[in-house]
Chains A and B, each alone.
Chain A
Amino acid sequence: MRFERREHRSLALVIATPVLAILCALALAGLLIAIAGAPVMEAYWRILVGAFGSRLSATETLTRASPLILTGLAAAVAFRARLWNIGAEGQFYLGAIAVAAASSHLFGGLPSPLQIPLLLVVGAAAGIVLLLVPLWLRLRFSVDEVVTTLLLNFVAVLFVSMLIDGPLKDPMGFGWPQSQPVADAAVLPKLFARSRLHVGLMIALVLAVAVHLVQSRTVFGMQSRAAGLNPAGAVFAGVPLGRTLVTVACVSGGLAGLAGAIEVMGVQGYVTTDLSPGYGYSGIVVAMLANLHPLGVVLAALFTAVMFVGADGMSRSMGIPSYIADVTVALSLISMLTGVFFTQYRIRR
């Protein structure tokens, strides 16, 4: 048995892959639910109900999807250029704490139309700074950025923990380590009354389209893809590799920082060290499920959000640990990787 590269990939196959991968992951997770002694179909039904069953749960799912779209885009943009940014989690937290600090100490008095855009820029900038460090280490000392971005995630969370237990601690927080809240004028407007869904979703959707256009229609998009496909060839063709990677890092880190910013300004209002249930890491899965396509990221983020929100509800009523959502998401990443392989290769005897 050996693998043979396919001459061309049919579009139907490429589109079917993520669907098959998700079905495969759901089947495997179903096995785990069955082993736990619960009826599988009912569990899935409850996940669907938990994610879409009511107006509240549907808006909650979309609220969850918003930061996931941004961290998914962050990973997709970087991976396209083979910049292995696994640090979206840290960039998320740094963006979040920068926004909380800036709103409570610098721009708190500004009116919303001025303050909100300013804070979004601050959040993105914080994410960018955190990613530029490992990129610099890669370009200067040829240090693999996978490990450094991973390690910086821990540093970033500890840094946030230090700030919210020290200079940025909320004096009204009953002694809990949480940051001072953002100013009222910094709170993102809600999309619907009586829900947590905020305009961050719109920002994420607009950015997904923008990233798609930049990647498919601009010179920079072409250069970043070339840098990923064949760095040596790209340099030979005149692509400024270092500069392209720095720009890619700015987009990627900025998107991850922005995810933290909208989560603080739109949902929680202040920063704690459990602000993110692993949005940064899930973003990697989202990007891979989307096959690194910016518009696919939106759908993949939606799937991930459905799993997380739905599993919360299902876990309460059926006694299956809600970690089943994380397991399913991780399994869908592995099946997706395998699936993508078989769109490129076929088995020959």
Chain B
Amino acid sequence: MNAVIDIFASAGLWAAVLRIATPLILGTLGALLCERSGVLNLGIEGIMTFGAMIGWLTVYNGADLWTGILVAGLSGGIFGLLHAGLTVTLGLSQHVSGLGVTLFASSFSYYVFRLLVPVAGTPPTIEPFQPIDVPVLSSLPFLGPALFTQTPPTYAAILLALALGYVLFRTPLGLAIRMTGENPHAAEAQGINPMAVRYGSVVVGSALMGIGGAFLTLSAFNSFFPTMVQGRGWICIALVVFASWRPGRALVGALLFALFDGFQLRLQTRLSGVVPYQIFLMIPYLLSIAALALMARRARVPQALMQPYRRGER
């Protein structure tokens, strides 16, 4: 029991929570935006992988870190365009199209990486984002090292969650997006172009996913290796349901999730040899499934989610 208290009392845990949460926050917000407009984007896992790869590669080739983030976002947007083409214009099954995008984006990432980066014993590294000091706040006892020793993208991700919440629920654009996700026919009757709204949401949402992936290689770690996304994309899809499609709750959900994850990582080192480490690694996935089972009935799904919209067709 003392061990548990020790873990929670260490500033390191809370700093790690924010770090673990950042890619989940970005990915969940991206998936949430897509789904609010009525498109399930299962391309997320592959888009995050590609973002992680291309962001890293950009910086490895001499560009600065923010350019890496930008390139990751742009490439995510391009994959979003592909997904939107398949699901919005053609109205294909969103499940299968998304999986197709994931398979393509991840294998394409590995191909490009293998082609441009020679095989080496230790993977090449870059100089990642450094924690920045927030004036006054960072020097607070405990709270300083716990919460205010993060890299810039982490702060940006948290602000983004609030911004997306504002856009979705306080602006005409947000209303248009939510309306398209609930009833595209009604949206069209209001003079909104549901196709354009869905395209925009999927492209921007996918860009966020790409940035979420880039955080892994540009801030959390400093190198890229295949399978590094490790199902984070799927966890984001689960978090969207857990958050009942609300950005604020998505932020809370991702942080809660990261708290469990950071806690199990620390418990793992203390219990090594007693409990197999694989048990701990399973926890995030099992937790996501439990969260889905808990929330699926209660959550209010966007009513037109996964329904293709064709003009004049019911």
Contact = CB atoms under 8 A, between A and B. Distances in A.
Interface of A: 2-3, 32, 36, 79, 84, 86, 137, 141-144, 146-148, 150-155, 158-159, 161-162, 165-166, 281, 284-285, 288, 320-321, 323-324, 326-327, 329-331, 333-334, 337-338, 341
Contacts of B81: none
Interface string B166-188: 00000000000000000000000
Sorted from nearest, which 3 A-B pairs have the closest CB atoms?
A326-B107, A321-B114, A330-B103
Mostly helix, strand, loop or mixed at chain A's interface?
helix
B100 A159 contact: no
Contacts of B278: 158-159, 161-162, 165
Interface string B264-297: 0000000000001011011001101100110011
A144 B296 contact: yes
B69 interface: no
B282 A155 contact: yes
A74 to B, nearest CB: 15
B263 interface: no
Given A141-B296, A159-B282, A330 B100 contact: yes
A155 B285 contact: yes
B78 interface: no
B219 interface: no
Interface stretch (B6-14, B125-133, B227-235): B227-235
A284 B99 contact: yes
A137 B293 contact: yes
Interface string B91-112: 1110111011101100110110
- Listed residue (A79, A147, A155, A326) with the most chain B CB atoms within 10 angstroms of its CB: A147
Nearest to A84: B95
Given A151-B286, A338-B92, 6 more contacts: A141-B297, A147-B237, A327-B108, A329-B103, A337-B97, A341-B91
B293 A143 contact: yes
B293 A141 contact: yes
Contact of B103 (A147, A165, A281): A281
A222 to B, nearest CB: 22
B231 A150 contact: yes
A161 B292 CA distance: 25
A151 B310 contact: no
Contacts of A144: 241, 292, 296
A165 B272 CA distance: 14
B83 to A, nearest CB: 10
B100 A147 contact: no
A320 B101 CA distance: 22
B111 A321 contact: yes
B276 A142 contact: no
Contacts, number: 122
Interface string B232-259: 0011011001000000000000000000
B288 A151 contact: yes
B238 A151 contact: yes
Question: What band does the interface of chain B fall in when counting residues whose beta carbon is under 8 Å from A?
Answer: 35 or more
Contacts of B92: 337-338, 341
22 contacts: A141-B292, A142-B297, A144-B241, A144-B296, A147-B237, A151-B286, A151-B289, A155-B286, A158-B278, A159-B278, A161-B278, A321-B115, A324-B111, A330-B100, A330-B107, A330-B108, A331-B104, A333-B99, A333-B103, A334-B82, A334-B101, A337-B92
A329 B111 CA distance: 13
Nearest to A157: B278
Interface in B139-192: none
Contacts of A333: 96, 99-100, 103-104
B90 interface: yes
A86 B99 contact: yes
Given A150-B231, A162-B276, A327-B108, A337 B293 contact: no
B311 interface: yes
A148 B311 CA distance: 33
B301 to A, nearest CB: 9
A323 B230 contact: no
B276 A165 contact: yes
Contact of A334 (B42, B104, B310): B104
B224 to A, nearest CB: 14
B274 to A, nearest CB: 12
A281 B278 CA distance: 22
B239 to A, nearest CB: 10
- Listed residue (B103, B279, B288, B311) with the most chain A CB atoms within 10 angstroms of its CB: B103
B245 to A, nearest CB: 14
A84 B96 CA distance: 9
B220 interface: no
Nearest to A328: B107
Nearest to B236: A147
B292 A137 contact: yes
B86 interface: yes
A338 B93 CA distance: 11
Nearest to B45: A150
B289 to A, nearest CB: 5
A27 to B, nearest CB: 15
Given A137-B292, A141-B296, A327 B104 contact: yes
B101 to A, nearest CB: 8
Contact of B111 (A147, A159, A327, A334): A327
